[in-house]
Amino acid sequence: MNVAQIHRVYFIGIGGIGMSALARYFAFIDKTVAGYDKTESPLTQELAASGMDIHYKDSVDLVAEVYKNDSEHTLVVYTPAVPSNHKEYQFFLQNGFTIKKRSEVLGLITKDSFCLAVAGTHGKTTTSSILAHLLKETGVKMTAFLGGISEDFNSNFLLEGTEYSVVEADEFDRSFMQLTPNVACVTSMDADHLDIYGDAQELEKTFKDFTERLKPGGTLFVRNGLPLKGLTYGIEDDSDYCIRNIKIEHGTYIFDLETPDLKLEGVEFNKPGRHNLLNGLVAFAMAMQAGPPPHRLAQALSTFKGVQRRFSYQIKN
């Protein structure tokens, strides 16, 4: 796929959180974007308000002629949730259009950047949102595709540059096997999506396969205790990256953060829960690989607001 040859992009399932981030990306780089979704939502309303032509009935007649008549310059992106008998999907399939899953397109977009990929059955969205926030605050030129709406920039997509990219490495439908990251983490490998994998052993094997997709010289971070080889992270243990001496003051965690090379004291983080401390720690460790000064990353960690609908403060005294 040569992005330069694409003039327009049509999304089947444009309202999904990952799909809408891709739609924003293509609009940002001046491609014409349209799409279908089953139901209207705040996300699709935002996309439509930005100028995208969106409809909610599976009908080829509702697809603008400019998309249907130019298979050479039109890319069709679909979500795995779309059934194979979907009328619009079948039209594009039978008429020679380039049709790709969201994960394939994400892999193609990010392969030439320094890619930081967050994998795990839990914690992907929070960790990737923290990572994007840290890089943005420290001036790293990056693009972020998130699986939730970050409260820090009120979007699931951020484009500050193209040298670096932040992505969620989704295990659903083995989507993350399309990525070739420079830096990756695995936050968890709980038995999930067993309708796809069959059993926990196959899920675990696929996560291991994903870690082997790292580019040569790449760096893998693994939550301490998971059966994978990489730099470990944890709390009050023997991890390579470790949080110690935790205190809580006025709802804020204050702790020491140790890396293989340095120790930062009095680091602050405002999201509740041990799991969020771990998410913040590995996001910090990954962000270090992009080169910002560690003390600046620690300052940025203290200002992370969160992901909408996940631990959002309505009132905080």
pLDDT tens-digit map of 146-163: 988 999 989 999 999 999
The pLDDT mean for the chain works out to 91
Q: What angle do CA 124, 128, 129 make, to 5 degrees?
A: 115
pLDDT band at 311 (very low <50, low <70, confident <90, very high): very low
Identify whether residues 228 and 117 lie together within a single domain: yes
pLDDT tens-place string over residues 28-68: 999 999 999 999 999 999 999 999 999 999 999 999 999 99
Chain CA centroid to CA 106, Å = 10
Q: Which of 105, 133, 157 is the last residue of a domain?
A: 105
- Asked if 192 contacts 119 with a C-beta cutoff of 8 angstroms, the reply is no
For residues 310 and 317, give the distance between their C-alpha atoms in angstroms, rounded to a whole number. 19
Identify whether residues 18 and 126 lie together within a single domain: no
Rounded to the nearest 10°, the torsion over CA 164, 170, 175, 179 is: 20
- Asked if 186 contacts 223 with a C-beta cutoff of 8 angstroms, the reply is yes
Instruction: State how many domains the chain has.
Output: 2
- Provide the 3-class DSSP secondary structure of residue 274: helix
Distances, alpha carbon 294 to alpha carbons 1, 31, 138, 139, 289, in Å? 37, 37, 10, 13, 10
**314 lies in a domain?**
no
pLDDT at 198: 54
For residues 135 and 212, give the distance between their C-alpha atoms in angstroms, rounded to a whole number. 25
pLDDT at 277: 97
**317 lies in a domain?**
no
Identify whether residues 217 and 140 lie together within a single domain: yes
**309 lies in a domain?**
no
pLDDT at 310 over 70: no
Q: What angle do CA 267, 268, 273 make, to 5 degrees?
A: 120
> Percentage of the chain with pLDDT > 90?
80
H/E segment holding residue 133: helix 124-137
For residues 133 and 235, give the distance between their C-alpha atoms in angstroms, rounded to a whole number. 22
Identify whether residues 77 and 138 lie together within a single domain: no
Q: Which of 85, 105, 125 is the last residue of a domain?
A: 105
Distances, alpha carbon 246 to alpha carbons 120, 121, 317, in Å? 25, 26, 22
**64 lies in a domain?**
yes
Lowest average pLDDT, out of 200-209, 256-265, 297-306, goes to 200-209
What residues does 258 pair with on adjacent strands?
242, 263
**31 lies in a domain?**
yes
Domain of 254 in residue numbering reads as: 111-301
Identify whether residues 101 and 160 lie together within a single domain: no
Identify whether residues 15 and 57 lie together within a single domain: yes
CATH classification at residue 266: 3.40.1190.10
- Provide the 3-class DSSP secondary structure of residue 30: coil
Identify whether residues 118 and 263 lie together within a single domain: yes
Tell me whether strands 219-223 and 183-186 are parallel, antiparallel or unpaired. parallel
Residue 233, amino acid? Y
CATH classification at residue 11: 3.40.50.720
**306 lies in a domain?**
no
pLDDT at 315 over 80: no
- Asked if 222 contacts 228 with a C-beta cutoff of 8 angstroms, the reply is yes
Identify whether residues 144 and 286 lie together within a single domain: yes
**101 lies in a domain?**
yes
Reported in sequence order, the residue ranges of 180-251 that DSSP labels E, i.e. its strands, are 183-186, 219-223, 231-235, 241-249
pLDDT tens-place string over residues 178-225: 999 999 999 988 755 445 555 567 778 888 999 999 999 999 999 999
pLDDT tens-place string over residues 90-107: 999 999 999 999 889 999
Would you put residue 55 in left (φ > 0), alpha (ψ -120 to 50) or beta?
beta
pLDDT at 190: 77
For residues 40 and 124, give the distance between their C-alpha atoms in angstroms, rounded to a whole number. 26
- Provide the 3-class DSSP secondary structure of residue 27: helix
pLDDT at 313 over 50: no
Identify whether residues 248 and 125 lie together within a single domain: yes
pLDDT at 268: 98
Q: Which of 70, 105, 140 is the last residue of a domain?
A: 105
Lowest average pLDDT, out of 39-53, 121-135, 198-212, 253-267, goes to 198-212
Nearest to 130 by CA among 164, 107, 153, 102: 153
**53 lies in a domain?**
yes
Packed helices 294-301 and 274-288: angle between N→C axes, nearest 10 degrees: 150
Identify whether residues 50 and 79 lie together within a single domain: yes
pLDDT at 54: 98
Between 122 and 58, whose confidence is greater? 58
Would you put residue 175 in left (φ > 0), alpha (ψ -120 to 50) or beta?
alpha
Identify whether residues 121 and 246 lie together within a single domain: yes
pTM for the full model? 0.90
Identify whether residues 166 and 296 lie together within a single domain: yes
